[in-house]
Amino acid sequence: MKNSLILIGYMGCGKSTIGRKLAEISGRSFLDTDMWIEEKEGMTISKIFELKSEAYFRDLETVCLKELIEERDVKTSSQKTGMVISVGGGLPVREENQVLLKELGKVIYLKAEPETIYERVKTDTTRPLLQTENPLQKIKDMLGDREEKYQAAAHEVICVDGKSVTRIVEEIIRNEK
Ligand code: S3P
């Protein structure tokens, strides 16, 4: 069976785009924890933050990881297929989640500079944490806080600045061998 690959990193580092391509090329199924949560709750992340709370959302991230582990463990070895899992930018912050992520598979941190991230998210309105007056500063502050957690959660770090999706996917596949 193929190992699952888990992509972590800050908002806008390319987890979902890279994850989809990686899944297609490596013959794995793809799952995005944000989408899993939106489907479970029947509302967007922005609405969950607004109507429930960020804490409620964070608990669901842990529930998602636990369910993925449970689902995997009830399968027989012939039913098991590796997955590519892209996780929300804040999920690896919780220590409990760092352990669960490593239990799920190989964790890859897609590392990007704040300026790269800002260019990608500056017109996006779907990320509640970046709807502030100075998003670049917010990105710098949050990355500063999170860097250590991302490093602690990851088995491998890949810098994505200035690289194409294809190149990053190739790098991930090459490092698997
Ligand atoms: C968040 C990242 C988002 C989403 C939510 C919170 C974060 O996911 O989970 O808006 O705290 O960094 P993406 O990293 O997929 O944008």
pLDDT bin (cut points 50, 70, 90) of residue 15 is very high
Ligand 1 centre to CA of 90 (Å) is 6
pLDDT at 1: 65
pLDDT of residue 78: 75
Atom of ligand 1 nearest to the CA of 87: 15
- pLDDT at position 75 is 84
Residue 89 Cβ < 6 Å to ligand 1: yes
The reported pLDDT for the residue numbered 156 is 98
Taking only the tens place, the pLDDT of each residue in 147-171 is: 999 999 999 999 999 999 999 999 9
User: How far away, in angstroms, is 167 Cα from ligand 1 center?
Assistant: 24
Distance 79 CA to ligand 1 centre (A): 31
Give residues with Cβ within 8 angstroms of 122, minimum separation 6: 135
Name the nearest CA neighbour of 157 among 147, 167, 165.
Answer: 147
CB 129 less than 6 A from any atom of ligand 1: yes
Structure tokens at 144: 């500063």
Helices in the chain by DSSP H: which ranges? 15-26, 33-41, 45-47, 54-74, 95-104, 114-121, 135-153, 165-176
pLDDT digit string (tens) for 23-57? Answer: 999 999 999 999 999 999 999 999 999 999 999 99
- Atom 16 (ligand 1) nearest CA: 11
Q: CA 44, CA 41: separation in Å to the nearest integer?
A: 8
For 70-124, write each residue's pLDDT tens digit.
Answer: 999 988 777 778 999 999 999 999 999 999 999 999 999 999 999 999 999 999 9
* Residue 26 alpha carbon to ligand 1 centre in Å: 25
Separation CA 131–CA 43 (nearest Å): 19
